[in-house]
Structure 1
């Protein structure tokens, strides 16, 4: 039985990630828990954002690991996240900002059948 991914990426967002990868090398994502960025997915050069023991890895998008704090995951664990991109400047340190776009999350609840086949999370 095929596992269901917790995090996906739109084709448009993948194009931006590919562009950023060519410019910066390996990338990673962390789902912001609020503060000045609301709840935006943040893109960093791998290793420039410190992942801690309270973070979990939900999966990968476009070859990039995607993390979230365990406490925030407790609220989102029944939800499939899709990383998309929209025009406009976010108020963040995420790598896509100079391109005049920002990553956003689109979400939907898993069905009961999907929830039973979810990809396991990993500790950060």
Structure 2
């Protein structure tokens, strides 16, 4: 099985801290400009997921969604959720901690793409 989304240890520590405070969480990345292109963390259910969103997978038992338009650009890419210092201007739950979630990416290998294609069929 090939995962489309994973998280670094640093990101997992922050997610754990947020889960202890807020309970179940979810992530969404819209692909809009500026802060809209960064992954956003919400209490599970606080963001309305629609037909135009794709579930990429889970990180730390939190569903991670991406807008379908953004997914079309990134579908050949493995994503890693990470954190960086600095305050974004979004409504994401980690913002008061003085950090924000970011995405690091790499292209899938040919073998990974083949597995993903088989999993879709």
- Where on the TM-score scale, by shorter chain, does this alignment land: which range? over 0.9
TM-superposed CA distance for 1:118, in Å, is: 2.5
Q: CA deviation at 1:39?
A: 1.4
**Structure 1 SS opposite 2:54:** strand
Q: Deviations over 1:30-89 (max 9, x none)?
A: 013123415101000001100001111000001100001111111100000000001110
Contact persistence 2:29–2:36 (CA under 8 A): no
As a proportion of its length, which structure holds more helix?
2
**Matched length:** 119
SS at match of 1:117: helix
Aligned to 1:97: 95
Which piece of structure 1 moves more, 32-41 or 56-65?
Answer: 32-41
Normalising by structure 1, report the TM-score. Answer: 0.91
**Displaced runs of 4+ in structure 1, greater than 3 A?**
none
Please give the TM-score of this superposition, normalised by the length of structure 2: 0.93
Distance in 1 of aligned mates of 2:4 and 2:58: 9
Gaps of 5+ in 1: none
RMSD (Å) for aligned C-alpha atoms: 1.4
After TM superposition, the structure 1 = structure 2 runs for residues 83-94 of structure 1, keeping only pairs within 5 Å, are: 83-94=81-92
SS for the counterpart of 2:28 is: strand
Of 12, 35, 38, 1:37 maps to 35
| Alignment partner, residue 72 of structure 2 | 74
Gaps of 5+ in 2: none
Could you say which structure has the greater relative contact order, defined with CA pairs below 8 angstroms and 6 or more residues apart? 1
Native 8 Å contact 2:5 2:58 kept in 1? yes
